Amino acid sequence: MKIETKQAHFSSPLYLESGRILEPYTIAYETYGEMNEDKSNIVLVCHALSGSHHVAGIYEGEKKAGWWDDLIGDGKAVDTSKYFVICSNIIGSCFGSTGPMNDNYPSHQPFRLKFPVVTIKDMVRAQVHLLSSLGIYKLKAIVGGSMGGMQALQFAVDYPSLSENIISLAATYETRAWTIAFNKVAMEAIRTDPRFEGGYYAKDAFKEQGLAGLAIGRIAGHISFLSPRSMDKKFDRNYVSTDGLFELFGRYEVERYMEYNTTNFSKHFDPLSYLYIIKAINTFSLERGYDSVEDAISRIKSKVHLFSFSSDYLFFPEEMEYIYKVMNKNSQQVTYKEIQSDYGHDAFLVEVDKFEDDIKSILGESNDK
């Protein structure tokens, strides 16, 4: 199938949790497979911090597949010969949906720091508008990992009847101080980088030389995405510099990995978008707008399927398990699986083989009904 990005433009206001309004706004998205006649085969995928709507397939002339291509495609667990899959770029991001570097209409100047803070609830509401514009009011499943898993859960709470199934991996019911602290590294590193210029950098300022502040923040991110054991496996204490071991800036393999990946990342990811998205992660709590976390969870009508990874050092298994316990106590429909893994938080991206059968069977089971 030919993969291409579409854009939906909205002239009606998006009312944000902050009380502010985003108007007009655009949502970039991709779809895979075909919607069936009774619209009963629709799966929405939500992406994480650094992801985009390009979740599966390969663009013409490119080599790299979408970020969850192992899971989604023809004959795969989320089988695009059966299901119509939609993935949209979250608002605030920098891959086609409205974000801080888009024009602050009616001016022709980017929002920059005037962009409103958006939350996971806001991201979810924007996606509901996208679905409506496509004539979609009912989903087979909403699937996401990490911040995508937060969105899936927020969908379940805020729109209890929208999706038959909610599949949330490597997420949590609220962001804990631990994660906010990791994000703080990026917040400060970007904010204090002189080349960030208080948000007033030129539009293509970092294409050649990435922003050091973002790269540094991203190192902290990568630490939280991995685990001590996955790092041992990947890097051990291998020393890779041509500089000797006793040169101050000589590098162990883990250091080279961090430098290489984060420097590249800082060339193509917008630092303002990064700040706004980590802010959205920081403010995430299912509780907000309800009496309590438990009250929020009790509203869920969907079947909820929770997956955690034993070595996740960002969102710990106990956090997903907590949602399970609350739902189970309420006799809500919920399953929970802690997947044994050494790959840390990233396991939801790199160990698809450990949960693809589960997802296939979740979709299949509900198919038979």
The region of 220-228, 301-309, 321-329, 358-366 touching a copy of itself under the rule CB under 8 A is 220-228
Asked if 151 and 123 touch (Cβ cutoff 8 Å), the reply is yes
Among 276, 307, 322, 324, binds a copy of itself (CB under 8 A): 276
Q: Does 345 participate in catalysis according to the annotation?
A: yes
* Of the candidate residues 71, 189, 277, 297, the single one contacting a copy of itself (CB under 8 A): 189
Angle between helices 253-268 and 212-225 (to 10 degrees): 120
| Residue whose CB is less far from a copy of itself, 51 or 100 | 100
Q: Is 317 in the site for a copy of itself (CB under 8 A)?
A: no
Residue among 45 and 189 whose Cβ is closer to a copy of itself: 189
- Please answer whether residues 273 and 93 qualify as being in contact, where contact means their C-beta atoms are separated by less than 8 angstroms: yes
List CB contacts of 63: < 8 A, sequence separation 6 or more. Answer: none
| Residue 165 neighbours by CB under 8 Å, 6+ apart | 140, 141, 142, 302, 303, 304, 305, 362, 363, 366
Shortest reach from residue 98's CB to a copy of itself, in Å: 16
**Smallest distance, Å, CB 338 to a copy of itself?**
16
Query: Taking the CA of residue 102 as centre, how many other CA atoms within 13 Å lie in the half-sphere pointing to its CB?
Result: 20
Of 13 and 160, CB closest to a copy of itself: 13
Identified binder of a copy of itself from the candidate list 39, 129, 176, 301, rule CB under 8 A: 176
Closer of 11 and 249 to a copy of itself (Cβ): 249
Measured from the CB atom, the residue of 85 and 272 that comes closer to a copy of itself is 272
Pair 88, 132: CB distance under 8 Å: no
Q: How far is the CB of 1 from a copy of itself (least distance, A)?
A: 39
Contact status: 197 vs a copy of itself (CB under 8 A): no
Q: Please state, in angstroms and rounded to a whole number, the distance separating the CA atoms of residues 130 and 152.
A: 15
Binding mask 115-154 for a copy of itself (x = CB under 8 A): -xx-x-----------------------------------
Regarding beta strands 139-145 and 84-88, do their DSSP bridges make them parallel or antiparallel, or are they unpaired?
A: unpaired
Residue 312 bears catalytic tag: yes
Burial (CB count within 10 angstroms: exposed 0-12, middle 13-18, buried 19+), residue 61: exposed
Question: Binding of a copy of itself at residue 267 (CB under 8 A)?
Answer: no
Other residues' Cβ atoms within 10 Å of the Cβ of residue 364: 13
- 244 interacts with a copy of itself by CB under 8 A: yes
d(CA 185, CA 160): 36
Is 177 among the residues that bind a copy of itself (CB under 8 A)?
A: yes
User: Which listed residue (41, 50, 146, 175) binds a copy of itself by CB under 8 A?
Assistant: 175
Nearer to a copy of itself by Cβ, of 177 and 202: the residue is 177
Sorted by sequence, the CB contacts under 8 Å of residue 19 that are 6+ apart come out as none
Options 50, 93, 97, 146, the catalytic residue: 146
Which residue type occupies 183? N
Binding-site size for a copy of itself (CB under 8 A) equals 61
Distances (CA, A) of 179 to 49, 93, 94, 335, 347: 13, 20, 22, 25, 17
Q: Minimal CA–CA distance to 8: which of 53, 67, 63?
A: 53
Verify whether residue 146 is a known catalytic residue. yes
In angstroms, the CA 157 to CA 168 distance is 13
Task: Rule CB under 8 A: choose which of 4, 23, 34, 232 binds a copy of itself.
Answer: 232
Match 């605030």 to its residue by tokens: 92
Catalytic residues: 146, 312, 345
Which stretches of the chain bind a copy of itself, using CB under 8 A? 16-20, 113, 116-117, 119, 174-178, 180-182, 184-185, 187-189, 191-192, 194, 212, 215-216, 219-220, 222-223, 226-228, 231-232, 234-237, 244-249, 252-255, 258-259, 275-276, 279, 282-283, 285, 313, 316
